[in-house]
Amino acid sequence: MNTVGKITALKNHLPLQKQEDRAAYLESIFETAIDAIFTINERGIVESMNPAAEKLFGFEASEVLGNNISMLMGTPDRQNHDNYIRRFIETREPRIIGIGREVTGVRKDGTKMPLRLAVSETIVNGRRVFAGILHDLTSMKKAEEEIRKLNEDLESQNEHLEQKVAVRTEELSEAVNQLLSVNQQLHREAEERRAAELALRKSEKELLKALQKEKQLNELKSRFVSMASHEFRTPLSTVLSSADLAETYTGGEEHQAKRSKHIQRIKTAVGTLTGILNDFLSLSKLEEDKVQTHLVTFRLKDFCNEVTEEVQGLLKPGQVILHEYENCEAAVHLDKKILKNIIYNLISNASKYSPADKPIYCRLRVADNKLRIEVEDQGIGIPEEDQPHMFERFFRANNVENIQGTGLGLNIVKRYLDLLDGDISFKSKPGQGTIFIINIPITQD
Protein backbone atom coordinates (compact mmCIF):
# COMPACT_ATOMS: atom_id res chain seq x y z
CA MET A 1 0.00 0.00 0.00
CA ASN A 2 1.37 3.47 -0.93
CA THR A 3 1.54 6.41 1.50
CA VAL A 4 -1.71 8.01 0.31
CA GLY A 5 -3.48 4.69 0.71
CA LYS A 6 -2.10 4.29 4.22
CA ILE A 7 -3.27 7.81 5.16
CA THR A 8 -6.75 7.02 3.79
CA ALA A 9 -6.81 3.75 5.77
CA LEU A 10 -5.79 5.58 8.94
CA LYS A 11 -8.49 8.21 8.26
CA ASN A 12 -11.16 5.53 7.94
CA HIS A 13 -10.14 3.91 11.24
CA LEU A 14 -10.27 7.15 13.32
CA PRO A 15 -13.35 7.57 15.52
CA LEU A 16 -16.03 9.54 13.71
CA GLN A 17 -16.88 11.68 16.73
CA LYS A 18 -13.39 13.16 16.79
CA GLN A 19 -13.30 14.98 13.49
CA GLU A 20 -11.01 17.72 14.71
CA ASP A 21 -8.56 15.20 16.16
CA ARG A 22 -8.66 13.22 12.92
CA ALA A 23 -7.92 16.27 10.82
CA ALA A 24 -5.03 17.22 13.09
CA TYR A 25 -3.72 13.66 12.97
CA LEU A 26 -3.67 13.53 9.19
CA GLU A 27 -2.30 17.06 8.96
CA SER A 28 0.58 16.07 11.24
CA ILE A 29 1.45 13.13 9.00
CA PHE A 30 1.27 15.32 5.90
CA GLU A 31 3.40 18.09 7.43
CA THR A 32 6.10 15.86 8.94
CA ALA A 33 6.59 13.36 6.08
CA ILE A 34 10.24 13.29 4.90
CA ASP A 35 9.22 12.76 1.25
CA ALA A 36 7.59 15.49 -0.85
CA ILE A 37 3.80 15.13 -1.15
CA PHE A 38 1.58 16.98 -3.65
CA THR A 39 -2.13 16.80 -4.38
CA ILE A 40 -3.47 17.94 -7.75
CA ASN A 41 -6.85 17.99 -9.43
CA GLU A 42 -7.66 16.25 -12.69
CA ARG A 43 -6.44 19.34 -14.63
CA GLY A 44 -2.98 19.03 -13.03
CA ILE A 45 -3.41 22.13 -10.76
CA VAL A 46 -1.53 21.89 -7.45
CA GLU A 47 -3.93 22.08 -4.50
CA SER A 48 -1.52 21.29 -1.64
CA MET A 49 2.13 20.52 -0.92
CA ASN A 50 3.93 19.66 2.31
CA PRO A 51 7.05 21.32 3.80
CA ALA A 52 9.24 18.52 2.49
CA ALA A 53 8.10 19.45 -1.05
CA GLU A 54 8.97 23.13 -0.43
CA LYS A 55 12.40 22.14 0.81
CA LEU A 56 13.00 19.71 -2.07
CA PHE A 57 12.08 22.13 -4.87
CA GLY A 58 13.06 25.47 -3.18
CA PHE A 59 9.65 27.01 -3.80
CA GLU A 60 7.32 28.48 -1.25
CA ALA A 61 3.90 26.87 -1.30
CA SER A 62 2.34 30.17 -2.39
CA GLU A 63 4.50 30.10 -5.53
CA VAL A 64 3.23 26.67 -6.60
CA LEU A 65 -0.36 26.38 -5.40
CA GLY A 66 -2.82 27.10 -8.18
CA ASN A 67 -0.25 26.38 -10.89
CA ASN A 68 0.11 23.29 -13.05
CA ILE A 69 2.38 20.65 -11.48
CA SER A 70 4.33 20.50 -14.77
CA MET A 71 6.23 23.62 -13.66
CA LEU A 72 8.29 21.30 -11.46
CA MET A 73 8.97 18.75 -14.19
CA GLY A 74 11.72 18.26 -16.71
CA THR A 75 11.25 17.30 -20.33
CA PRO A 76 9.48 15.35 -21.75
CA ASP A 77 7.15 14.95 -18.76
CA ARG A 78 6.47 18.74 -18.59
CA GLN A 79 5.01 18.76 -22.10
CA ASN A 80 3.15 15.43 -21.74
CA HIS A 81 1.82 15.62 -18.18
CA ASP A 82 -1.71 16.76 -19.02
CA ASN A 83 -1.91 14.01 -21.64
CA TYR A 84 -0.86 11.46 -18.98
CA ILE A 85 -3.81 12.46 -16.79
CA ARG A 86 -6.30 12.57 -19.64
CA ARG A 87 -5.22 9.19 -21.02
CA PHE A 88 -5.45 7.56 -17.59
CA ILE A 89 -8.94 8.99 -16.98
CA GLU A 90 -10.13 7.81 -20.40
CA THR A 91 -8.47 4.38 -20.55
CA ARG A 92 -7.69 3.59 -16.88
CA GLU A 93 -4.42 2.17 -18.24
CA PRO A 94 -1.57 2.86 -15.74
CA ARG A 95 1.51 4.41 -17.34
CA ILE A 96 2.69 6.51 -14.40
CA ILE A 97 -0.42 6.77 -12.21
CA GLY A 98 -0.81 3.66 -10.11
CA ILE A 99 2.58 2.10 -10.88
CA GLY A 100 5.31 4.71 -10.25
CA ARG A 101 8.48 5.47 -12.15
CA GLU A 102 11.65 7.58 -12.18
CA VAL A 103 11.25 11.21 -13.35
CA THR A 104 13.31 14.40 -13.50
CA GLY A 105 12.34 17.32 -11.26
CA VAL A 106 13.37 20.98 -11.67
CA ARG A 107 14.16 23.14 -8.65
CA LYS A 108 13.44 26.86 -8.42
CA ASP A 109 17.05 27.64 -9.30
CA GLY A 110 16.70 25.57 -12.49
CA THR A 111 18.81 22.62 -11.35
CA LYS A 112 17.50 19.17 -12.17
CA MET A 113 17.28 16.19 -9.86
CA PRO A 114 16.30 12.53 -10.25
CA LEU A 115 13.15 11.53 -8.40
CA ARG A 116 11.12 8.42 -7.72
CA LEU A 117 7.44 9.31 -8.29
CA ALA A 118 4.47 7.34 -6.95
CA VAL A 119 1.02 8.63 -7.95
CA SER A 120 -2.34 7.40 -6.73
CA GLU A 121 -5.92 8.42 -7.40
CA THR A 122 -8.63 9.04 -4.78
CA ILE A 123 -12.10 10.61 -4.65
CA VAL A 124 -12.65 13.35 -2.06
CA ASN A 125 -16.15 14.84 -1.67
CA GLY A 126 -17.01 13.63 -5.15
CA ARG A 127 -13.89 15.15 -6.74
CA ARG A 128 -11.07 13.18 -8.36
CA VAL A 129 -7.76 14.03 -6.70
CA PHE A 130 -4.30 12.69 -7.53
CA ALA A 131 -1.68 12.47 -4.80
CA GLY A 132 1.99 12.20 -5.66
CA ILE A 133 4.90 11.22 -3.41
CA LEU A 134 8.40 12.16 -4.59
CA HIS A 135 11.59 10.64 -3.21
CA ASP A 136 14.92 12.31 -4.00
CA LEU A 137 17.28 9.89 -5.78
CA THR A 138 20.20 12.35 -5.98
CA SER A 139 22.34 10.54 -3.39
CA MET A 140 21.65 7.15 -4.93
CA LYS A 141 22.42 8.38 -8.45
CA LYS A 142 25.56 10.07 -7.17
CA ALA A 143 26.69 6.79 -5.63
CA GLU A 144 25.91 4.95 -8.88
CA GLU A 145 27.89 7.52 -10.84
CA GLU A 146 30.83 7.20 -8.46
CA ILE A 147 30.76 3.43 -8.89
CA ARG A 148 30.56 3.80 -12.69
CA LYS A 149 33.43 6.26 -12.68
CA LEU A 150 35.47 3.98 -10.43
CA ASN A 151 34.87 1.09 -12.85
CA GLU A 152 35.92 3.29 -15.77
CA ASP A 153 39.05 4.32 -13.89
CA LEU A 154 39.86 0.67 -13.20
CA GLU A 155 39.32 -0.21 -16.84
CA SER A 156 41.52 2.71 -17.87
CA GLN A 157 44.24 1.56 -15.47
CA ASN A 158 43.97 -1.98 -16.82
CA GLU A 159 44.26 -0.71 -20.39
CA HIS A 160 47.26 1.37 -19.39
CA LEU A 161 48.92 -1.64 -17.77
CA GLU A 162 48.14 -3.78 -20.81
CA GLN A 163 49.71 -1.15 -23.03
CA LYS A 164 52.81 -1.05 -20.84
CA VAL A 165 53.02 -4.83 -20.91
CA ALA A 166 52.60 -4.83 -24.68
CA VAL A 167 55.31 -2.20 -25.09
CA ARG A 168 57.65 -4.07 -22.77
CA THR A 169 56.91 -7.32 -24.57
CA GLU A 170 57.68 -5.68 -27.89
CA GLU A 171 60.96 -4.32 -26.53
CA LEU A 172 61.95 -7.76 -25.28
CA SER A 173 60.97 -9.30 -28.60
CA GLU A 174 63.17 -6.83 -30.47
CA ALA A 175 66.08 -7.55 -28.12
CA VAL A 176 65.70 -11.29 -28.71
CA ASN A 177 65.57 -10.79 -32.47
CA GLN A 178 68.75 -8.69 -32.34
CA LEU A 179 70.56 -11.36 -30.37
CA LEU A 180 69.41 -14.07 -32.77
CA SER A 181 70.56 -12.08 -35.77
CA VAL A 182 74.09 -11.74 -34.29
CA ASN A 183 74.77 -15.43 -34.45
CA GLN A 184 72.96 -17.64 -36.95
CA GLN A 185 74.37 -20.72 -35.35
CA LEU A 186 72.71 -19.89 -32.06
CA HIS A 187 69.49 -19.27 -33.94
CA ARG A 188 69.64 -22.72 -35.55
CA GLU A 189 70.40 -24.35 -32.22
CA ALA A 190 67.47 -22.50 -30.64
CA GLU A 191 65.21 -23.71 -33.46
CA GLU A 192 66.40 -27.26 -32.99
CA ARG A 193 65.80 -27.07 -29.24
CA ARG A 194 62.34 -25.59 -29.86
CA ALA A 195 61.48 -28.38 -32.29
CA ALA A 196 62.70 -30.96 -29.80
CA GLU A 197 60.61 -29.35 -27.06
CA LEU A 198 57.50 -29.38 -29.24
CA ALA A 199 58.09 -33.02 -30.10
CA LEU A 200 58.58 -33.81 -26.41
CA ARG A 201 55.36 -32.03 -25.47
CA LYS A 202 53.50 -33.82 -28.22
CA SER A 203 54.63 -37.22 -26.98
CA GLU A 204 54.19 -36.34 -23.31
CA LYS A 205 50.50 -37.21 -23.25
CA GLU A 206 51.15 -40.48 -25.05
CA LEU A 207 53.91 -41.35 -22.58
CA LEU A 208 51.70 -40.52 -19.61
CA LYS A 209 48.90 -42.57 -21.12
CA ALA A 210 51.27 -45.48 -21.71
CA LEU A 211 52.59 -45.24 -18.15
CA GLN A 212 49.05 -45.18 -16.78
CA LYS A 213 48.19 -48.17 -18.93
CA GLU A 214 51.24 -50.01 -17.69
CA LYS A 215 50.34 -49.15 -14.12
CA GLN A 216 46.83 -50.49 -14.62
CA LEU A 217 48.13 -53.67 -16.23
CA ASN A 218 50.58 -54.21 -13.37
CA GLU A 219 47.76 -53.68 -10.92
CA LEU A 220 45.65 -56.12 -12.88
CA LYS A 221 48.43 -58.71 -12.80
CA SER A 222 48.89 -58.24 -9.06
CA ARG A 223 45.16 -58.57 -8.44
CA PHE A 224 45.08 -61.61 -10.70
CA VAL A 225 47.87 -63.35 -8.79
CA SER A 226 46.20 -62.55 -5.47
CA MET A 227 42.75 -63.61 -6.62
CA ALA A 228 43.95 -66.63 -8.54
CA SER A 229 45.70 -67.99 -5.45
CA HIS A 230 42.41 -67.64 -3.56
CA GLU A 231 39.78 -68.47 -6.18
CA PHE A 232 41.67 -71.37 -7.77
CA ARG A 233 42.38 -73.09 -4.45
CA THR A 234 38.81 -74.25 -3.72
CA PRO A 235 37.93 -75.74 -7.14
CA LEU A 236 41.37 -77.34 -7.45
CA SER A 237 40.97 -78.90 -4.00
CA THR A 238 37.55 -80.16 -5.07
CA VAL A 239 39.01 -81.70 -8.22
CA LEU A 240 41.81 -83.40 -6.27
CA SER A 241 39.64 -84.76 -3.46
CA SER A 242 36.89 -85.96 -5.81
CA ALA A 243 39.45 -87.64 -8.09
CA ASP A 244 40.97 -89.44 -5.08
CA LEU A 245 37.55 -90.54 -3.82
CA ALA A 246 36.43 -91.66 -7.28
CA GLU A 247 39.45 -93.98 -7.43
CA THR A 248 38.33 -95.72 -4.23
CA TYR A 249 34.97 -96.68 -5.68
CA THR A 250 36.14 -99.62 -7.81
CA GLY A 251 33.10 -101.79 -7.29
CA GLY A 252 30.24 -102.36 -9.67
CA GLU A 253 26.80 -100.82 -9.80
CA GLU A 254 26.68 -100.06 -6.07
CA HIS A 255 29.54 -97.53 -6.44
CA GLN A 256 28.42 -96.01 -9.76
CA ALA A 257 26.25 -93.31 -8.14
CA LYS A 258 29.10 -92.19 -5.89
CA ARG A 259 31.51 -92.10 -8.82
CA SER A 260 29.04 -90.07 -10.86
CA LYS A 261 28.60 -87.61 -7.97
CA HIS A 262 32.34 -86.95 -7.75
CA ILE A 263 32.72 -86.75 -11.52
CA GLN A 264 29.99 -84.08 -11.54
CA ARG A 265 31.82 -82.19 -8.77
CA ILE A 266 34.98 -82.31 -10.90
CA LYS A 267 33.09 -80.97 -13.92
CA THR A 268 31.58 -78.16 -11.86
CA ALA A 269 34.97 -77.18 -10.44
CA VAL A 270 36.55 -77.22 -13.89
CA GLY A 271 33.68 -75.03 -15.14
CA THR A 272 34.35 -72.56 -12.32
CA LEU A 273 38.06 -72.45 -13.20
CA THR A 274 37.19 -71.95 -16.87
CA GLY A 275 34.88 -69.06 -16.00
CA ILE A 276 37.58 -67.35 -13.91
CA LEU A 277 40.15 -67.73 -16.67
CA ASN A 278 37.67 -66.46 -19.28
CA ASP A 279 37.03 -63.35 -17.17
CA PHE A 280 40.72 -62.54 -16.95
CA LEU A 281 41.34 -63.27 -20.62
CA SER A 282 38.40 -61.06 -21.65
CA LEU A 283 39.55 -58.22 -19.38
CA SER A 284 43.11 -58.51 -20.69
CA LYS A 285 41.92 -58.21 -24.31
CA LEU A 286 39.73 -55.25 -23.44
CA GLU A 287 42.56 -53.51 -21.59
CA GLU A 288 44.86 -53.94 -24.60
CA ASP A 289 42.16 -52.77 -27.08
CA LYS A 290 42.32 -56.10 -28.87
CA VAL A 291 38.55 -56.65 -29.04
CA GLN A 292 37.14 -55.64 -32.43
CA THR A 293 33.47 -55.74 -33.36
CA HIS A 294 32.33 -58.00 -36.18
CA LEU A 295 28.73 -57.48 -37.27
CA VAL A 296 26.72 -60.39 -38.65
CA THR A 297 23.04 -60.93 -39.40
CA PHE A 298 21.13 -63.46 -37.26
CA ARG A 299 17.73 -64.15 -35.72
CA LEU A 300 17.28 -63.51 -32.02
CA LYS A 301 15.19 -66.58 -31.19
CA ASP A 302 17.75 -68.95 -32.73
CA PHE A 303 20.50 -67.04 -30.95
CA CYS A 304 18.75 -67.36 -27.56
CA ASN A 305 18.34 -71.11 -28.05
CA GLU A 306 22.09 -71.41 -28.63
CA VAL A 307 22.90 -69.45 -25.48
CA THR A 308 20.40 -71.48 -23.44
CA GLU A 309 22.05 -74.75 -24.49
CA GLU A 310 25.51 -73.45 -23.61
CA VAL A 311 24.56 -72.29 -20.09
CA GLN A 312 22.71 -75.49 -19.09
CA GLY A 313 25.84 -76.78 -17.36
CA LEU A 314 25.90 -73.70 -15.12
CA LEU A 315 22.33 -73.97 -13.84
CA LYS A 316 21.49 -75.32 -10.41
CA PRO A 317 19.05 -78.23 -10.07
CA GLY A 318 15.55 -77.09 -10.92
CA GLN A 319 16.64 -73.79 -12.48
CA VAL A 320 15.22 -73.06 -15.95
CA ILE A 321 15.52 -70.10 -18.35
CA LEU A 322 12.20 -68.67 -19.47
CA HIS A 323 12.33 -66.56 -22.63
CA GLU A 324 9.88 -63.82 -23.56
CA TYR A 325 9.98 -62.16 -27.00
CA GLU A 326 8.40 -59.00 -28.37
CA ASN A 327 8.78 -57.98 -32.03
CA CYS A 328 11.82 -60.25 -32.45
CA GLU A 329 10.84 -61.97 -35.72
CA ALA A 330 13.09 -59.94 -38.04
CA ALA A 331 16.83 -60.58 -38.29
CA VAL A 332 19.24 -58.13 -36.63
CA HIS A 333 22.72 -56.93 -37.53
CA LEU A 334 25.00 -57.10 -34.44
CA ASP A 335 28.21 -58.58 -33.09
CA LYS A 336 26.86 -62.02 -32.21
CA LYS A 337 29.92 -63.15 -30.24
CA ILE A 338 30.03 -60.08 -27.97
CA LEU A 339 26.25 -60.25 -27.42
CA LYS A 340 26.57 -63.92 -26.46
CA ASN A 341 29.30 -63.12 -23.92
CA ILE A 342 27.09 -60.39 -22.42
CA ILE A 343 23.99 -62.61 -22.01
CA TYR A 344 26.06 -65.61 -20.90
CA ASN A 345 27.62 -63.53 -18.14
CA LEU A 346 24.28 -62.11 -16.93
CA ILE A 347 22.57 -65.52 -16.90
CA SER A 348 25.60 -67.04 -15.14
CA ASN A 349 25.31 -64.40 -12.40
CA ALA A 350 21.54 -64.93 -12.16
CA SER A 351 22.07 -68.66 -11.63
CA LYS A 352 24.96 -68.19 -9.21
CA TYR A 353 23.12 -65.79 -6.89
CA SER A 354 19.69 -67.50 -7.06
CA PRO A 355 18.45 -70.56 -5.15
CA ALA A 356 17.71 -73.85 -6.89
CA ASP A 357 14.24 -74.39 -8.39
CA LYS A 358 13.83 -70.66 -9.13
CA PRO A 359 13.35 -69.67 -12.80
CA ILE A 360 15.48 -67.08 -14.61
CA TYR A 361 13.68 -64.75 -17.02
CA CYS A 362 15.29 -63.52 -20.24
CA ARG A 363 13.12 -60.96 -22.05
CA LEU A 364 13.95 -59.53 -25.48
CA ARG A 365 12.15 -56.66 -27.20
CA VAL A 366 12.96 -54.78 -30.42
CA ALA A 367 11.57 -51.26 -30.77
CA ASP A 368 12.77 -47.97 -32.28
CA ASN A 369 15.87 -49.66 -33.76
CA LYS A 370 17.00 -50.77 -30.31
CA LEU A 371 17.33 -54.19 -28.74
CA ARG A 372 16.27 -54.26 -25.07
CA ILE A 373 17.23 -57.32 -23.01
CA GLU A 374 16.18 -57.95 -19.42
CA VAL A 375 17.66 -60.75 -17.31
CA GLU A 376 15.72 -61.21 -14.07
CA ASP A 377 16.43 -63.53 -11.17
CA GLN A 378 14.76 -64.16 -7.82
CA GLY A 379 17.98 -64.35 -5.86
CA ILE A 380 19.67 -62.58 -2.96
CA GLY A 381 19.62 -59.11 -4.55
CA ILE A 382 22.21 -56.34 -4.17
CA PRO A 383 22.60 -54.26 -0.98
CA GLU A 384 21.68 -50.64 -1.58
CA GLU A 385 25.03 -49.31 -0.36
CA ASP A 386 26.89 -51.54 -2.87
CA GLN A 387 24.78 -50.68 -5.93
CA PRO A 388 26.81 -47.60 -7.07
CA HIS A 389 29.94 -49.76 -7.37
CA MET A 390 28.61 -52.83 -9.21
CA PHE A 391 30.39 -52.06 -12.52
CA GLU A 392 33.78 -51.36 -10.93
CA ARG A 393 36.59 -53.81 -11.61
CA PHE A 394 37.09 -56.48 -8.89
CA PHE A 395 34.17 -55.15 -6.82
CA ARG A 396 31.92 -57.69 -5.09
CA ALA A 397 28.92 -56.95 -2.90
CA ASN A 398 29.20 -57.67 0.80
CA ASN A 399 26.49 -60.37 0.68
CA VAL A 400 28.38 -62.68 -1.76
CA GLU A 401 31.57 -63.25 0.20
CA ASN A 402 30.82 -67.00 0.46
CA ILE A 403 30.07 -67.34 -3.26
CA GLN A 404 32.98 -67.77 -5.67
CA GLY A 405 33.57 -65.00 -8.20
CA THR A 406 36.16 -62.57 -9.53
CA GLY A 407 34.25 -59.28 -9.39
CA LEU A 408 35.01 -58.78 -13.10
CA GLY A 409 31.87 -60.00 -14.84
CA LEU A 410 29.76 -56.83 -14.78
CA ASN A 411 32.78 -54.64 -15.56
CA ILE A 412 33.42 -56.78 -18.66
CA VAL A 413 29.74 -56.62 -19.65
CA LYS A 414 29.75 -52.82 -19.42
CA ARG A 415 32.92 -52.54 -21.51
CA TYR A 416 31.49 -54.88 -24.13
CA LEU A 417 28.38 -52.70 -24.29
CA ASP A 418 30.56 -49.61 -24.75
CA LEU A 419 31.94 -51.26 -27.89
CA LEU A 420 28.35 -51.70 -29.16
CA ASP A 421 27.30 -48.14 -28.13
CA GLY A 422 24.91 -49.75 -25.65
CA ASP A 423 24.15 -49.16 -21.98
CA ILE A 424 23.27 -51.19 -18.89
CA SER A 425 21.28 -50.51 -15.74
CA PHE A 426 19.66 -52.59 -13.01
CA LYS A 427 16.94 -52.69 -10.37
CA SER A 428 17.46 -54.70 -7.20
CA LYS A 429 16.16 -55.19 -3.68
CA PRO A 430 17.94 -57.42 -1.15
CA GLY A 431 16.16 -60.77 -0.86
CA GLN A 432 13.85 -60.03 -3.81
CA GLY A 433 16.12 -60.52 -6.80
CA THR A 434 17.67 -58.35 -9.51
CA ILE A 435 16.79 -57.22 -13.04
CA PHE A 436 19.63 -56.20 -15.37
CA ILE A 437 18.51 -54.10 -18.38
CA ILE A 438 20.62 -53.49 -21.48
CA ASN A 439 19.84 -51.40 -24.56
CA ILE A 440 21.77 -51.76 -27.83
CA PRO A 441 21.19 -49.89 -31.12
CA ILE A 442 20.58 -52.32 -33.98
CA THR A 443 20.04 -52.44 -37.72
CA GLN A 444 17.32 -54.82 -38.83
CA ASP A 445 18.13 -56.91 -41.90
Domain boundaries, the chain: 3-136, 143-208, 232-290, 292-444
Q: What is the pLDDT of residue 4?
A: 46
Q: What is the pLDDT of residue 6?
A: 47
Q: Which CATH architecture is the domain 292-444 placed in? A: 2-Layer Sandwich (3.30)
Other C-beta atoms closer than 10 Å to the C-beta of 112 total 13
Q: What is the pLDDT of residue 220?
A: 61
Q: What percent of the chain has pLDDT over 70?
A: 73
Please answer whether residues 127 and 154 qualify as being in contact, where contact means their C-beta atoms are separated by less than 8 angstroms. Answer: no
**How far is residue 407's CA from residue 410's CA, in Å, rounded to a whole number?**
7
pLDDT: which is higher, 422 or 291: 422
Given a cut of 70, is residue 32 above it in pLDDT?
Answer: yes
The pTM of this model reads 0.46
Q: What is the pLDDT of residue 283?
A: 64
Residue whose C-alpha is closest to residue 307's, from 372, 364, 239:
364
Given a cut of 90, is residue 132 above it in pLDDT?
Answer: no
Given a cut of 90, is residue 257 above it in pLDDT?
Answer: no
Superfamily of domain 3-136: PAS domain (3.30.450.20)
3-state secondary structure 106-156: ECCCCCEEEEEEEEEEEEECCEEEEEEEEEECHHHHHHHHHHHHHHHHHHH
Other C-beta atoms closer than 10 Å to the C-beta of 191 total 11
pLDDT: which is higher, 304 or 206: 304
CA dihedral 56, 59, 65, 68 (to 10 degrees): -80
Q: What is the pLDDT of residue 385?
A: 94
Binned at pLDDT 50, 70 and 90, residue 96 comes out as low
Q: What does the pLDDT average to over 358-368? A: 94
Q: 3-class DSSP state for residue 435? A: strand
Q: What does the pLDDT average to over 99-121? A: 85
